[in-house]
Amino acid sequence: MSASTLYDKVWELHRVADLPGGSTQLFIGLHLIHEVTSPQAFAALRDLGLTVRHPERTVATVDHIVPTTSQARPFADPLAEAMLATLEANCADHGITLHGLGSGRQGIVHVIAPELGLTQPGMTVACGDSHTSTHGAFGAIAFGIGTSQVRDVLASQSLAMNKLKVRRIWVEGTLQPGVYAKDLVLHVIRTLGVKGGVGYAYEFAGPAIEVLSMEERMTLCNMAIEGGARVGYCNPDATTFAYLQGRPHAPTAGDAWERAVAWWSGLASGPEAVFDDEVRFDAAAIAPTVTWGITPGQGIGVDERVPTLEQTPADERPLAEEAYRYMDLVPGAPIAGLPVDVCFIGSCTNGRLSDLRAAAAVAQGRHVAPGIKAFVVPGSEQVAAAAEAEGLDAVFRAAGFEWREPGCSMCLAMNPDRLEGRQISASSSNRNFKGRQGSASGRTLLMSPAMVAAAAIRGQVTDVRELVAVAPSTPSER
């Protein structure tokens, strides 16, 4: 059983009561909501005659359903308009802050909470969205919940939870140029499987993790859930504190800031920490990674070939065969050179400023291949403004990419951005499930934003290292 890990310490601090069923009532420090998974929760609250216990601990934005071309109201899609109107009414009724379109603070929920300084080390963070694990990058215990649980947090600022085991993912070495946090996490999932993390929180630690920027840590923790781990986190350190300092909701400078840093520092897993399990990786051995199949675990290095059935463990063969059929790929074929139709840069995984910089470095001075639809969707209004201030939008436009308004866009196709028919996309998002990007037969290849840019330029899956001799592997932030 784990002991003295950050997970154990934060769990104990937030323990409210032991429940008769055997689970623990856990206090939730930060509750994030959006338009898709909250309306039924507010309705249930009304049915129960309950109110929101801590409206100041819930923060809302709109991201999944917003168009990325014109965001003028009312939306062309009446269902999308009704969802946003419902969120607006619920927030107004209950005194909840909503960072709406045009506020300067709207964006994908997992992009805006960190950039506003809402997400802090040592918090418990819940949101009706599985990629809530993103916030673990700060040393928070953050996890996705369903709508009934959104209702519970609204009503009680707490949840009935069962404690997870803790697996340390220890990463030695250094990511090579052209290899990013996205490649690292795709490699981890490829190795441990899409259900390897079920029942575990993943602690990402080791020399290769310590040098990652906060945005890279967010990419890593974001996809913990794709490996089955509901929670992924990094220990807070000087990088974390430097990112937070001065952000709108961070503790104010002076004594409060010093108290905060002292408290945060004490939560990190120390040398005495005990883990339920540990797996080691060598960052230097990881290549730019691309998924070829229909789960995020079906990934290979860009220099590898689609695995054959003989190379696939027996229990994974039915899924591999289904993936060959769906993706229309031949076992043993190289993934590099596979033609793509659509290139999407964005999402809560890879829609932050450093992601756009890495992609722009590839696009700079080049042009999207003929017939390719390529577009860039900043993760938030703040990301868009920062990118425009340094001219990234102009770089992308000159290279033939569309520059869009912030939102979840084609990650999940609850908005007008979607694949059509059997189109195949190079996507910086997080899921390559059948039908995920809006067409029941559409196909998705997951990769880093720089790799998506390279695919757009060449019109096919391309090793980004061929285009950029030394791509920035740890781009600076802010």
Partner 1 sequence: MSTVSTTVAAPAPFPAGPVERLQGRGVALVGNDIDTDRIIPARFLKCVTFDGLAEGAFADDRTELAGAHPFDRPEHQGATILVVNDNFGCGSSREHAPQALMRWGIRAVIGESFAEIFFGNCLALGIPCLTITPADATTLQRAIGAMPAALLTVDVEALRVRLDPQTSDGTSAASAASLDLPLQLAAGPHRMLVSGQWDGTSQLVAHDAELRATASQLPYLVGFAA
Task: Enter the DSSP assignment of 466.
Answer: G
Q: What is the nearest approach in angstroms of partner 1 to the Cβ of residue 363?
A: 29
Q: What is the nearest approach in angstroms of partner 1 to the Cβ of residue 114?
A: 15
Nearer to partner 1, 193 or 400 (CB): 193
User: What strands lie across the sheet with 424-427, from one edge to the other?
Assistant: 402-403, 373-376, 342-345, 424-427, 443-446
Would you state the structure tokens that stand for residue 291, as one six-digit string?
A: 């998924």
Q: What residues does 124 pair with on adjacent strands?
A: 141
Which residue, 144, 38, 31, is CA-closest to 89? 38
Q: What is the nearest approach in angstroms of partner 1 to the Cβ of residue 460?
A: 26
Nearer to partner 1, 145 or 336 (CB): 145
Nearer to partner 1, 172 or 322 (CB): 322
- Residues 6 or more apart from 430 whose CB is under 8 A from it? 131, 222, 223, 226, 296, 347, 348, 349, 411, 446
Classified as helix, coil or strand, 411 is helix
User: What is the DSSP pairing of strand 165-172 with strand 277-282?
Assistant: parallel
Q: What residues does 373 pair with on adjacent strands?
A: 342
Nearer to partner 1, 47 or 365 (CB): 47
Terminal C-alpha separation, the chain: 39
Q: What is the nearest approach in angstroms of partner 1 to the Cβ of residue 304?
A: 21
Nearer to partner 1, 255 or 310 (CB): 255
H or E segment at 173? Answer: none
Q: What is the nearest approach in angstroms of partner 1 to the Cβ of residue 48?
A: 6
Would you state the structure tokens that stand for residue 224, as one six-digit string?
A: 């913990």
Q: What is the nearest approach in angstroms of partner 1 to the Cβ of residue 35?
A: 9
Q: Read out DSSP for 87-150?
A: HHHHHHHHT-EEE-TTSS--B-HHHHHHHTT---TT-EEEESSGGGGGGGGGT-EEEE--HHHH
Q: What is the nearest approach in angstroms of partner 1 to the Cβ of residue 372?
A: 24
Nearer to partner 1, 128 or 299 (CB): 128
Nearer to partner 1, 25 or 176 (CB): 25
SS (H, E, C) 234-258: ECCCHHHHHHHCCCCCCCCCCHHHH
Q: What residues does 31 pair with on adjacent strands?
A: 58, 126
Classified as helix, coil or strand, 7 is helix
Nearer to partner 1, 37 or 473 (CB): 37
Which residue, 34, 281, 288, 57, is CA-closest to 158? 57
Q: What is the nearest approach in angstroms of partner 1 to the Cβ of residue 472?
A: 31
Q: What is the nearest approach in angstroms of partner 1 to the Cβ of residue 132?
A: 8
Classified as helix, coil or strand, 384 is helix
Q: Would you say 444 and 462 are in contact if contact means Cβ atoms under 8 Å apart?
A: no
Nearer to partner 1, 366 or 422 (CB): 422
Nearer to partner 1, 52 or 343 (CB): 52
Q: What is the nearest approach in angstroms of partner 1 to the Cβ of residue 82?
A: 6
How many residues comprise the chain?
478
Which residue, 310, 347, 305, is CA-closest to 432? 347
* C-alpha count within 13 angstroms, C-beta hemisphere, residue 13: 19
Residue type, 364: Q
Q: What is the nearest approach in angstroms of partner 1 to the Cβ of residue 188?
A: 16
Distance separating alpha carbons of residues 23 and 36, to the nearest angstrom: 27
Q: What is the nearest approach in angstroms of partner 1 to the Cβ of residue 259?
A: 4
Nearer to partner 1, 127 or 395 (CB): 127
Nearer to partner 1, 189 or 450 (CB): 189
Residue type, 137: A
User: Cα dihedral sign for 402, 405, 409, 414?
Assistant: negative
